[in-house]
Chain A
Amino acid sequence: MKNIEIKAWCRITNNKVLLNGEELQIPIKENTSWLTNIYKSLKIDYPKYFKMDKLSKSGFLASEIIMRKLNIEPLKPKPNWSIILMNNSSSLETDKEFQKTIQSPSDYFPSPSVFVYTLANIVTGEIAIRNKIIGETLFYVHQKFSAQHLYQYSLDSFSDQSIDNVLCGWVEDGDGDIDVLMFAIAESSDKNDFTIENISKLY
């Protein structure tokens, strides 16, 4: 069995951001959404953020916080990184948005910019684009957060010979509740703290 080390982890909920267990102070501006307050606190210039749906924003922000902590250069191509994410509601919040644009015949105007986000794996694509991650990207759906499956999928990603770093986690925005737990993990010679038990504790 391989040793897998947690390089950094990030937890985002409706009112808290944790990086490696420590709470980040997010300056709150009025008339600005919680996620955009987090975005502003990062002081980055990435206009694509504003086009994203809430699911993609949530995942993007967690990945940004992690990659910055690890001092990883976004523009360097990363064939050795993969992204494995999972959640409960897939893209349901955006599905409902899109449904509104086609529900009534008198008000029928399906929007391509909404439709593209009716696929949950778009969040893996957004993170891949930002960080030039050109390894594996996968998205899974489970009824509940499953530390066991998160662990299994990540382990399987390392069995792809090109991959030695994985961004993995749970990214959920169902009913407006942000629920994100993301890890950057890597194979390690000595440390082995990416275990089902630890993952469960950090959720």
Chain B
Amino acid sequence: MIYKISDNIISSLGFGSKENYSQIKNGNSGLKLYEDKFHLPEPFFASLMEEELINDKFSSMCKPTNEKYTKLEKLSILSCSDAIDKALINPSSNEVLFIFSTTKGNVELLEENKEFEKERVYLWKSAQIIKDYFNNPNEPIVVTNACISGIAAQLTAINFLKNHNFKYAIVIGAEVLSKFIISGFQSFKALSKQMCKPFDRDRDGLNLGEGATTIIYKIANEDENIPKDAIKFVGGAVRNDANHISGPSRQGEGLFNAINATIKGYEKNKLSFINAHATSTVYNDNMESFAIERSGINHIPVNSLKPYFGHTLGAAGVLETIISSYSLLDNTIIKTLNHKNYGVDKSIIINKENQKSEKTAFIKLISGFGGSNAAIMFEKAGYEKY
């Protein structure tokens, strides 16, 4: 059995998973309008973190070292430290594997880099810097799969625990925003000029967000002690649309296949909710409605967390898994902020108000550029798989 035994979220809504969960349960969003940020010609909504605040936290919470760290690395180390402290594990053990999920790492160093060595822009270098802080002896794994990275990284962690003799896997998902990322999404006309509206008929694009998040997985026997708030991994899969590199297949072929592979043989009525990718682009949300309906799980409430955090890219899969697991244990289905008028082709149930549910499992969906899609499913620990 594989359990999530610890976690952390750092976002514009706060430091720590509990703080972030309580903020969104109260309906608060971290999205704000930015004008002239990064010297970009167009304004944009995003969820950003002040570097000063991160620096303060870092100097008060992290051990002093001679190494200088980028914003991304500081956030990752802070997030990981908190999760490790709670898990009471020794990160320098060779039983611990570090897995880093990001799409663009320190890419902002391409614009101007006076402080750091050239190779700092490589993703493997960031991963190395982070695991070195914790004196971990193993080569870290970097997963970079566009928007599905955070789920792909978790599924990689689970495979390495099952098949390659590790006891713990620490999955860090982190992304910081920069002129590079925002201008790219703007050039794609993918950003909304307002706060994103998942599954809404007036939706017109996504908002971006930044943050660092950590999940620690443990492989355990039935008789081992598991923390009360642990969540059990049930299944997951990655599937490609083989349709287009920058747009989803209209009928959600890949996501449908990923959901099917994940829920095969599972009692669907145990599902409390579906946490959708729901970026609020016209194509993505419509595609998801097809995939959910085709999989026969469209009687289960669907929510989106993008209106709270924005799309945090390489961090999104990890962040949304953590929030969803807190909400599962809290017997609460979080509402989809900003959703007013139903606007997708297929019939699904959008969760519009926080509501109670005693059900025992959730499934998280994610899709991204390169035609990739993934699903992952968890349940409250202590419940049997079938």
Contacts and interface: CB of A to CB of B under 8 A. Distances in A.
Pairing of A with B: yes
B239 interface: yes
B152 A142 contact: no
Contacts of A115: 184-185, 187-188
Contact of A159 (B41, B107, B159, B242): B159
Contacts of B41: 108
A65 interface: no
Contact of A129 (B123, B144, B188, B245): B245
A120 B107 CA distance: 13
Q: Is the interface of A mostly helix, strand, loop or mixed?
A: mixed
Contacts of A110: 183-184, 186-187
Contact of A134 (B121, B122, B257): B257
Nearest to A115: B184
B278 interface: no
A112 B245 CA distance: 12
A167 to B, nearest CB: 12
Interface in A133-171: 133-143, 146, 149, 152-153, 155-156, 159-162
Contact of B184 (A98, A121, A124): A98
Interface residues on chain B, size class: 35 or more
A140 B245 contact: no
B190 to A, nearest CB: 9
Interface residues on chain A, size class: 35 or more
Interface string B158-184: 011011100000000000000110011
A152 B145 CA distance: 18
A132 interface: yes
A63 interface: no
B156 A136 contact: no
B369 A116 contact: yes
Given A92-B122, A118-B104, A132 B242 contact: yes
B239 A125 contact: no
Given A103-B111, A138-B152, A89 B122 contact: yes
Contacts of A88: 122, 124
B371 A140 contact: no
B337 to A, nearest CB: 28
A47 interface: no
B193 interface: no
A129 B242 contact: yes
A92 B253 CA distance: 30
A119 B104 CA distance: 8
Interface of B: 39, 41, 103-105, 107, 110-111, 121-125, 127-128, 139, 141-146, 152, 156, 159-160, 162-164, 179-180, 183-189, 237-246, 253-254, 257, 261, 369-372
5 contacts: A111-B187, A119-B103, A122-B370, A149-B139, A162-B261
